Amino acid sequence: MSSINLGNITSKFHEGLGTTVRLNRLASHWHPGEVYTFDHLYQEISPSSTQNLALIVAELVQRGFLEKLVRVESPTGGGIKDFPSVEDVPERIYDFHSDREIEVQPDNLRILFKVRHGG
């Protein structure tokens, strides 16, 4: 991905050169399968607003650089399973961390962005 300049994405949302440089730097170190939270992306890229980051991330997902996923996490800590959308998450799931079935609550869900192609 290091050969791709993602400035056309950041400039689309009126972000400055600093945001472009930080996004390109982060993307150049991406490895397939790595996952990031929205907060982590915000800290790394430092865009002008969370709204602009949401637009940038949506564009990265649309172009196939990132994949949005919903992770069900155990109340005791650790991921249980990833799903493509909230609609795909079952009401109950086996939590192998605690060796019991749990009812999935909103607090158990985490939105993540998985790298599809490496830098």
- Per-residue pLDDT tens for 4-30? 567 778 778 777 788 888 998 999 889
HEC string of the chain equals CCCCCCHHHHHHCCCCHHHHHHHHHHHHCCCCCCEECHHHHHHHHCCCCHHHHHHHHHHHHHCCCEEEEEEEECCCCCEEEEECCHHHCCCEEEECCCCEEEECCHHHEEEEEEECCCC
pTM: predicted TM-score of the whole model, two decimal places? 0.84
Q: Residue 1: what pLDDT? A: 41
- Euclidean distance between CA atoms 47 and 31, whole angstroms: 22
Which one has a higher pLDDT value, 18 or 34?
A: 34
Q: Residue 2: what pLDDT? A: 42
pLDDT tens digits along 43-84: 999 999 999 999 999 999 999 999 999 999 999 999 999 999
